[in-house]
Structure formats: structure tokens, C-alpha cells
Amino acid sequence: MKKLQIASLAILVVAVVSFCLLEAGTLSSLQSGLLAILSPITRSGGAVKKSISGIGKDLMTLEQLQKEYDRILAENRRLRAENSGLRDLQTDNDHLRQVLGYLERSAFRLIPAAVLAHDAGTWWSMIKINRGSKDGIAVDMPVITDRGLVGKTTAVSSEVSEVVLISDENCKVAAKVEGTKEQGISGGARDTAGELHLTFLSKLADLQPGQKVYTAGVSGGIFPSGLALGTVKSFHARELDGEAILEPSADLGDLEEVYVVTGAK
Amino acid sequence: MRHTLLFVILILLLPVSVAMQDLLPVIPVAQARIQILPVLFCFAMLALPLLPALFFALATALVQGLVLLQIQAGQSELGLTLPIVFFIAWAIVLQMSSEATHGMRWELHAFGSALVTLTLLGGEFLVLCIKRGGFPLDMSVGLRIIVPALVAPFIAPALYFMLRALVPLSPDAGPVAAQPSFKR
């Protein structure tokens, strides 16, 4: 028995030393492995959470249902009328886009994904989505919503991927401010949850609350240019540069569906 | 035999606890998150004998380290060394506490869970401050460390009594085989 305990202790010591010496590449593979182990639990848990949170939302009285039906019917009629008018505009728009070469620059191949969970790490902002390598997702792909940039993929298993949000301190995005020549680096901060800090701006930058901020799309970077990042809330000059506080365009605290940008069309 | 069964159950619960804490909603106070992993870890340290406890501490450190892993410019920011040192150090402290109180008690588990959560979040914050620079300690940061630690003792008894019901480990449940101990 004593020999068995000594052998166990030796195994433990060897295991501890081996894990402490692992390289970043091996750790990344191990992380993908853990994500694969967690994937069935996270997926089923996410589905249960969605159905539970949907119970309250879906309960309506007959009167409310009738009102909702009438409202949707009226909206449907209005949208159909609008749609027939927009078809001609769409044709013109497509033609003009082709002429300007805009389509090639700004249209992306997107993979829709549902958000399964928000990571419980206190100092990191990450989410898990229900798409993985078998759907064509790889590490360092931008993730967006219809309202703007959300983050990028950091770890990918076959069925689940982890996305670091733009509100994380480690997710740096080159950004430019609408209507100015100001460019800076945006990222999150440890002491504020949800806000973005746009730094390395000129100290004399005349930024006003409400100005839009877009990705700058530096060469060799991950994020393409022109994606909405946020809106300026405030600006202050620091000792060496200017810093703007941004409200993210996408609601990062309430993400349900996102799109992974796998490339240009 | 009971300890082997408990060890297997706890190892299986490790990924479940990580997935569960990710699915729980944010506490409105300072956007703090509920931590279940430290509560499970604390139970394991008090209930298991020394050697299995050390193996479980290593497994917890691997899971926690990999969950928080971020690769920056080809380098991992935290790595696994710090979580391993943290959890093995707490394993030894909790094992000694368990021996000092002649077996595990639910109060000790609740108190230990709060302390492990507090030091885990505080330690992460300090390490990030050293690695990334700056020390932005304000009310918001303080609440994000303290609130999960205050919530932990309320989760702990539920887990304690559920696991004790699954695997009876009370002193009168029968003699336990000789195990390595801190006692001389």
C-alpha cells in the first residue's frame, strides 16, 4: 500500500511538472479538447436555458394574442407594399455596387450561430457559440451581428467555438472615427464591464458624443474595415494621447444570434 | 471504495460545474458572475483523502487554466502553472483544516468556498495587473471579487448535502482505510 502511495505521488509530481512546461500550441489543442468535452453539456444546457427563458415571453392572454395578430397582419400588408417598391431600388443598388466595386470590398461570407453561454470568468469577456470546425469555423475569424462587430473566435472544437468579445481587455481592434481622420486602438478594461476604450487618439481630437466609430481594417489584421464598432460617449485628453469611451454598437450583454465572417464573397 | 466512487463522481461533476456557471445569469451587482467550480473544489478537498485530493486539485487547475486560456502573440497569458500552484496550495490547507476539525463539516465547506472564491478572483485580478500593467482597483472591481465570494456560502450547503446523500462519508459510516495524512 505504501509503495502504491509513493508511486501515485511520483505520478502526480511528474504530471504537475509536465503541465507547467507545456507550450502555447499544446495548451491551445488541450483547450479545444476541453471545449469538445464541454460541448454536449453546454449545448443541451443552452437549449434548456432558452426554453425556460422563453416560457414567460410566450404566455399571452387571448385578447393579447388577438391584438398581436392584428398588428402582425397590418405590418405584413405594409411590408408587402414596401417590398414591391424596393425591388426596383434593389436592382439599381446592385448595379451601382458592382460599378463601384463596393460589393467585393464589403460583402462577407457569413455563418449564422446561436450563443450558447457567456463565460463565467470575471476578468474575461467570452461567449460560446454552437458552430465549430465542422461548419468551417477557424481561430481568429471576426464575429458580428447586424448592428456591428462582436469579437473574434479564439478556440474552436468540432461543434462549439469560443469567442472573445471586443469588451475584453485582450481584444484590440484598430478603429477610425466617423467624419474625422482620427484612428486609434479599441479594447475593454478590467474596471469597466461592457464599455470600450479607444486610445492613441490625438490629444486635440474634437470628438463629440454620438459620433460613430468603425473598424479601420489594417493590413494583415483580422477585422475588415467598415464594421460598426461603437458610438463615442465621452472624450478626454491624457498625458500623451486622447482617449474616448465608446458604447458598443452590438448589445454584448444580450447576444443571442451572431454571424461568423469566414471570408469575402 | 466510497472514496473512489466519490472521486469519480466529483471528476464527472467538474466539467458540469464549468458549463453550469457559464449558463447562470449575471448577478446585477457590478456584473459579477456566480462561481460553482471553487465550491465543488472545496467539497472535494474536505471529503477526499490527501492523494486523491491532490489529483483532483490538479484536474481543477487544468480545467480552470484551460477555460481562461488566451494566447497572445504565440504566448499563453496565464498558462497552467499559476492555477496548479493555487489549487494545490488550497488543497493542502483544506486537508489540514479537515483533519483539525476531525472530518468535514458543512460550515467549514461554506466558509472554505467563500475563501477559495475570494482568493481565486482576487489572485486572477492581481496576476492580470502584473501581466498587463495598471492597478484599476475601485468599487466596481471590488464588488466583482467580493459578491461571488459572498454568494458561494449559499450555494455550498446545497452541493454539500446533495453529495453527502449520494456518497455517505460520515465518521460512523464505517472504518476508512489508512491514508496518507498530515498527522504524525
**In this predicted model, what pLDDT tens digit does every residue of A105-115 receive, in sequence order?**
446 888 889 99
C-alpha dihedral sign at A155, A33, A129, A263: positive
Task: State residue A102's pLDDT score.
Answer: 39
Average pLDDT over every residue of A224-230: 90
For the cut 60, the answer to whether the pLDDT of residue B177 exceeds it is no
Task: State residue B132's pLDDT score.
Answer: 86
Based on the number of CB atoms within 10 Å of its own CB, is A164 exposed (0-12), middle (13-18) or buried (19 or more)?
Answer: buried
CB A104 within 8 A of CB A264: yes
Residue A147: C-alpha distances to residues A143, A192, A224, B60 (Å): 11, 22, 15, 38
Task: State residue A109's pLDDT score.
Answer: 84
Task: State residue A212's pLDDT score.
Answer: 93
For the cut 50, the answer to whether the pLDDT of residue B9 exceeds it is yes
Would you report the helix, strand and coil content of chain B in percent, each value rounded to 5? 70, 5, 25
Query: In this complex, is the C-beta atom of B101 within 8 Å of any C-beta atom belonging to chain A?
Result: no
What percentage of chain A exceeds 90 in pLDDT?
A: 43
A101: left (phi over 0), alpha (psi -120 to 50) or beta: left
For the cut 80, the answer to whether the pLDDT of residue A133 exceeds it is yes
Q: Which residue of A has its CA nearest to B76?
A: A24
For the cut 70, the answer to whether the pLDDT of residue A7 exceeds it is yes
Q: Which residue of A has its CA nearest to B26?
A: A120
Lowest mean pLDDT of A63-67, A191-195, A250-254, name the range.
A191-195
Helix (H, G, I), strand (E, B) or coil at A115: strand
Average model confidence (pLDDT) for chain A?
86
CB atoms within 10 A of CB A23: 12
- CATH 1.10.10 describes domain B2-69+76-169: no
Residue B57: closest CA among B33, B77, B38: B38
Average pLDDT over every residue of A78-90: 73
Interface contact flag, A118 B18, Cβ < 8 Å: no
Q: Which helix (H) or strand (E) holds B60?
A: helix B50-67
The Cα B149–Cα B184 span in angstroms is 34
For the cut 90, the answer to whether the pLDDT of residue A174 exceeds it is yes
Q: Which of residues 21-80 of B touch A (CB under 8 A)?
A: 21-24, 26, 30-35, 51, 54-55, 58, 61-63, 66-72, 74-77, 79-80
Report domain extents, chain A: 62-102
Contacts of A28 in chain B (CB under 8 A): 69, 71, 76
Residue A158: closest CA among A178, A183, A130, A193: A130
H runs (alpha helix) in chain A: 2-20, 24-58, 62-100, 102-106
Average pLDDT over every residue of A120-141: 91
For the cut 90, the answer to whether the pLDDT of residue A200 exceeds it is yes
Nearest 5°: phi and psi at A141? -105, 135
For the cut 50, the answer to whether the pLDDT of residue B172 exceeds it is no
Report domain extents, chain B: 2-69+76-169
The Cα A78–Cα A72 span in angstroms is 10
Residue B158: closest CA among B31, B26, B36: B36
Nearest 5°: phi and psi at B138? -135, -170
Torsion of the alpha carbons at B46, B50, B55 and B60, rounded to the nearest 10: 20
Q: Which of residues 80-119 of A touch B (CB under 8 A)?
A: 117-119
Average model confidence (pLDDT) for chain B?
87
Cα Rg of chain A (Å, integer): 24
For the cut 60, the answer to whether the pLDDT of residue A99 exceeds it is no
Q: What is the pLDDT of residues B113-123, one digit of tens each?
A: 999 999 999 99
Give the ipTM of the model, two decimals please: 0.84
What's the pLDDT band for B156 if we cut at 50, 70, 90? very high
- The set of residues, in sequence order, having a beta carbon less than 8 Å from that of A212 and lying 6+ positions away, is A177, A178, A228, A230, A231, A232, A249
